[in-house]
Structure 1
Amino acid sequence: MAATVQVTFDCADPRALSLFWNEVLGYRLDSPPPPFETWDEALDAWGIPEARRNDASASVDPDGVGPRLFFQKVPEGKSAKNRVHLDVRAAPGLRGDERMAALERRCEELLAVGATRLYRVEADQVDQGHITMADPEGNEFCLD
C-alpha cells in the first residue's frame, strides 16, 4: 500500500497562510477531533493559552483526494529559494495562448488574496509555459 503525504510549511502565521492556501486550492481548515465542535473548544479543553493558538494550522481537501497541508510556526523567516515547490494545475489540458490566458486569469485572482507574481515562462519545446508566484510568506509555487 502506498504511503500518504502531508505537505508541511514552516511559517510565521500558520492560520493566515493556511487560509491563503485554502483559497488557492479550494481546501478548508481541518476539523477538530471528536468530540469537539470547534477548535476553540478543543484548545480550551487542552489548556492551550491564547498566545499559542496560532502555533499550527492544517488544511484539507474537502473531497479527501489531495494531501493535507500542515502549517507550523517557526521563529526564523524564509532565507533561500525553495528546494521543493507546489505546481498548482490551473490549466490542465490547455495549450498555447488559451493555456497562458487561463494561467493569467488565475494569477490575477491569487494576487487579490495575497500572492506575488515573480515571473512568467513562455512555452517552448520543453515547457508548456507557467507563471511562478510566491505565497504571502515568500514560498514559491507555479501556476502550471
Structure 2
Amino acid sequence: MVKVLGKDSTCSIARSLEVLGDAWTLLIVREAILSGATRFQEFRDALGVAPNILSKRLATLIEEGVMERRTYRDDGARARDEYVLSEAGRSLSVVIAALGEWGRLQRPRPDGTSPGFTLEDSGEPARLAFVTADGEVVSPARLVARRTEDSRVPAT
C-alpha cells in the first residue's frame, strides 16, 4: 500500500507520485518500456539496484496495476516470475518521454542518451506535443495551467 503524499491527496499529480515518486520505480518502468525488460535479473543488470529494493518496487508496481506478474519456465529450470507492463504501465511512455526530453534539454551531457520513440509499423519518429482539439501544436510557453476537477478535464 502506498502512502498518501502531502495534504492534497485529491491532486492527480500527488496521486501519481504516491505510486511513481521513487527514482528506482521510474527507472524500472523505463527499462520495461525502452529495453523490454521483464525479468528480475534483467532489471538488476540494467539498474544495479539492490535485490530487496527491486523486490519492493516491483511489488508496489504490481499492487498498483502498473505491472502484472506472470509465471514462466525455461527448459529444465524451475518456474519463475516475470514482470510485464499493464495497459496503465504502457501508458507511462509519455511520462518517460517527457522526463527524457526535459533531461536532454535542461541537463545536457555530451555522453548522454535519451529515449527515442518511433511508430512500430513505419519507424517514423514521434515526438511529444501539446495539441489543441483542432490539431494545432502548441508551445509550452503559450500554456497556462490551472487546477481542474478530473471530471472536467477533456479526454485525450
TM value normalised by structure 1? 0.28
Structure with more helix by fraction? 2
Structure with more strand by fraction? 1
TM value normalised by structure 2? 0.26
